[in-house]
Structure 1
């Protein structure tokens, strides 16, 4: 277990479980094979909270507060309207973009029943335009409807490959071997530089991120190159979405 401490050096949670590295590395002598970054990993939902949390569901004003993890006025308004339609008029009020408060009048069968009714309310949240990229694993996740403005992209790269191979030299002569002759191990190093062909991609109006990724893939651009292109397109103001780098 790994202790997760706050700035005050107090242990708030304990983390344990299987980690997802998304890469590997194998090495023998001068030969090495590596994919992504094997020295970093993630652990989803692996923390157990140890510090007590004082929580009061029903406030002193007789209301229950719901906090949105992703603030959005549209989603908050839909939550209030749906609760008012299902449980009664004007019991849900939008406080701000990330909080909705619901009034409990105490006249119902009980607070537990009231909360169960609230938990059963289904609301479709607003979907923000986002592109999530993970350079470690080379993963790109984006909504297919994320739009791009007109843009021209030129992409090219230079790749350097260094390989080493060891060979052994065993001198000998016709009459046999001599005691003062030793074997010699020689390392042969080969350096190769490849310059990728520069490709141009033109984004027309109403082009989506999915179209751009497909075009770059056809141009033989690797995943990390696509991530760099998306970040450059965002910086140019042609990508109308939030880029989240993990």
Structure 2
């Protein structure tokens, strides 16, 4: 019998599930910022871009050499195999100060076979506003290997992308509204009015009445001390407050590509009856040779004879009793003996009939 637990990633939780505020909400304005830049990786062992097919690599090399005082003759055609054009990406954490290192990811944008062993030349990393916030440079680390000889090729992992640990240096800090104003806003990771109410109650109970108020199902306004030192200590205490997050929205997440299903502890099932059966179609082809008479002047013809068979397994009517616990829901669905793909249709039918008390999300 197919076990649904193998296709469902869940945790069996108690009636009360307490989490810290820092686990369910973030502080508005305190977030990472994405950086991106275009650069060149040099020093490759013949695995770089084929420059005849990537003219932007040649243009980048000529521009770089021109800035260094090297002027190439007009019409000079470069045939380099140890250079690759790459995109460099990084995430600038909140409160990052100039001089701090950042990890960067280097990804080939041409037809380079590998960037393993290459060195990224100095690359400015810009934010969405066009300003330079970091400078990246260093040796690219690729967790993989590959080789080819005599028409055969073997490769382990992806070789066209790598990382440079601590390969960028922050050059500009991002202004944060953290130290401005007398209030801060907490943003819940998932919009839920009941959780927002519980967060407000927990803050007011631990830090003082009237400090927090809910603006909507996701945002919570909190009054904090104006002094910077008090503000840091206040937020450190605020983030450690425990909040009961049980009883939130019931949700079932279905991955239509892999057939995996995940549900939280709030999913319940009302009594329902399901008839489940499988329909299989088999098509087989057999070659048939048509041989003409010797004096007919015809030609031998090979044709295909197809046989189609359809098999329908009888569906059994199964009663699923009502349940208020996730473990009972899983046990009830296991009695169907269905595959993960069958369960996708079964859960959708249960939702349409009103038996499944949960929100279905298909990704």
Partner of 2:190: 70
Partner deviation per Cα, 1:108-153 (whole Å, 9 max, x = no partner) = 8433233322223332324321111112111122246632222221
Q: Distance in 1 between matches of 2:233 and 2:284?
A: 69
Change (3 A) 1:47 1:153: farther
Partner of 2:54: none
Choose from 226, 229, 251 the match for 1:130.
251
Question: More displaced, 138-147 or 225-234?
Answer: 138-147
Q: Distance in 2 between matches of 1:102 and 1:197?
A: 60
Q: Distance in 2 between matches of 1:129 and 1:193?
A: 39
Partner deviation per Cα, 1:139-196 (whole Å, 9 max, x = no partner) = 12224663222222112232113355789x9xxxxxxxxxxxxx99876755442212
Determine if the alignment matches structure 1 residue 98 to structure 2 residue 218.
yes
TM-score by length of 2: 0.44
Partner of 1:244: 361
Cα RMSD after superposing both structures: 4.0
Determine if the alignment matches structure 1 residue 213 to structure 2 residue 349.
no
Structure 2 stretches lacking a partner, 5+ long: 1-33, 37-88, 93-126, 130-173, 290-299
Number of residues of Structure 1 aligned to a counterpart in Structure 2: 195
Native 8 Å contact 1:83 1:92 kept in 2 = yes
TM-score by length of 1: 0.62
Q: Distance in 2 between matches of 1:98 and 1:109?
A: 27
Partner of 1:232: 349
Partner of 2:280: 159
How much does 1:68 deviate? Answer: 1.5
Change (3 A) 1:187 1:13: farther
Structure 1 stretches lacking a partner, 5+ long: 1-11, 15-45, 170-182
Q: Distance in 1 between matches of 2:257 and 2:227?
A: 55
Choose from 232, 257, 267 the match for 1:112.
232
Native 8 Å contact 1:144 1:210 kept in 2 = no
Partner of 1:195: 312
